[in-house]
Amino acid sequence: MLGAASLILGVIVMVAFGSWLIGRVRGSSGSKAQRESYERHREAQMREPPVEIGDTETVAVHEFTDHHSGQQQAVCKVEGFVVFVEDIPDALEVGDVIEVQILSFNRGHTSATATYTGPA
């Protein structure tokens, strides 16, 4: 009796796993929007940054994040390229437009670090 129940349970698990595996191979596990988003992400990683070290840029603050050092940074974008801005004033708010100077890139050149130079 126990052997038949184990056999049935094993077959059910194999069918479920097989269905999942076939879906993964055929690519049906992700929606079209997810695949398009992934492709745009990969293209963005391959492009050259739209800024150079030393450039001064006018950017808007999208959000704030806490750096691992404990300091708060503003998250800004230049043509979709993420720029983390250091040394920001306490009164800065989301939506404020500021001037920043690009200091460095991360290891893969997928984002940059900048310093706040003043309001725009």
Q: Render pLDDT for 2-51 as a digit per residue (tens, 0 to 9).
A: 677 788 888 898 888 888 877 777 665 567 888 888 888 788 778 889 99
56-119 placed in CATH 2.40.50.140: yes
Average pLDDT over residues 76-105: 95
Q: Check residue 2 and give its pLDDT.
A: 66
* pLDDT, the chain, mean: 88
The domain segmentation of the chain, as residue ranges, is 2-46, 56-119
Average pLDDT over residues 91-115: 94
Average pLDDT over residues 105-117: 92
Q: In angstroms, rounded to a whole number, what is the distance separating the alpha carbons of residues 64 and 85?
A: 9
Q: Is the pTM value of this prediction over 0.85?
A: no
Q: Which residues pair with 99 in a beta bridge?
A: 58, 118
The answer to whether 73 and 112 have CB atoms below 8 angstroms apart is: no
